[in-house]
Amino acid sequence: MKELVRPSRLAVGARVAVVAPSGPVLEERLQAGLDVLRGWDLDPVVGPHVLDRHGELGYLAGADADRAADLQNAWCDPSVDAVLCARGGYGAQRMVDLLDWEAMRAAGPKVFVGFSDITVLHQAFATRLGLVTLHGPAAAGVDFIKNARAQEHLKATLFAPESVRTIPSGGTALVPGRARGITLGGCLSMLASDLGTPHAHSGARGGLLLVEDVGEQAYRIDRMLTQLLRTGWLDGVTGIALGSWDGCGPYDALRPVLVDRLGGLGVPVVEGFGFGHCEGASTVPFGVMAELDADAGTLTLDEPVLR
């Protein structure tokens, strides 16, 4: 793991593109999200296929090629300073191989924000573009639209990143201690299903893993963590921050799985770190050097995530 290139922070009047690489988007939520962005004095533009829905596969926001084209065109547009994903869901794995990574690399660094299924793209942006990305709320998501804490933390990260160098979680130590490393991670099911693909991290050695998921039963989380362990993907990880597990059953039933699968790694682990599929989720960066303090429940970045 190595530190990645940090994009520039946003300024008043910056143009931000909203795209839908994965699941279909509700128009009323999209409009509400655009209103929030305009309230930040940003200039949001929308990809032409954001409101599409696949004719046969209703869980996709239109055809794979169209979703890829929206993302690539937004990224390669020199007037666009940031690309925000409208939502997660499912579909990024189907379009990631259609992107022209050479053209996107030539377009230079800019801000990229999303979470959940967008984990696939976070990994690709790291391995193919060498770029820091932000695991943050979706522009047409309920948390972004209605939760002031989620809005303000993302806004501070975008406009004044030096003000959020330390990210408090309210979490507690599953395994105590401190660790340093390069941040990576996202949605556990996406990390597991992305194993061995051309755009995925080959492993977490030297990294601080931030991981969460939604709607997965305890035995399935066990299976995915076991897969990461058996492949050696977790070898050399320096510390782990566990985010939200919304819809994953009673936490009292899930916690023993996390202890069993991760407690033996011999690294600090913090639970209840407030990012992912939870109300008021914090924005966390991938690709930066940071220190995780499991006892204090904090993640402290060596430098502001954006220049």
Active site residues: 116, 212, 277
Instruction: Identify how many contiguous H helices and E strands the chain contains and give both numbers.
Output: 10, 14
Do 87 and 53 meet the contact criterion of CB atoms below 8 Å apart? no
Cβ neighbours of residue 234 under 8 Å, at least 6 residues apart? 203, 204, 209, 228, 265
Among 301, 16, 298, which residue's Cα sits nearest to residue 170? Answer: 298
Can you spell out the DSSP letters for 190-216?
A: HHHHTTTSTTS-S--TTEEEEEEEES-
Angle between helices 218-230 and 251-262 (to 10 degrees): 10
Nearest to 138 by CA among 247, 23, 57: 23
The number of beta carbons lying within 10 Å of the beta carbon of residue 39 is 10
* Tokens linked to 230: 């058996």
Look at residues 175, 167, 140, 135 and name the one whose alpha carbon lies nearest to residue 265. 175
Distance CA(212)–CA(84), nearest Å, equals 20
Grouping H, G, I as helix, E, B as strand and the rest as coil, residue 130 is coil
Phi, psi for residue 24 in degrees, rounded to 5: -65, 150
Distances (CA, A) of 242 to 112, 139, 268: 22, 23, 11
- Measured in whole angstroms, the distance separating CA 196 from the mean position of its chain's CA atoms is 19
Give the pair of three-digit tokens for residue 208. Answer: 């601080």
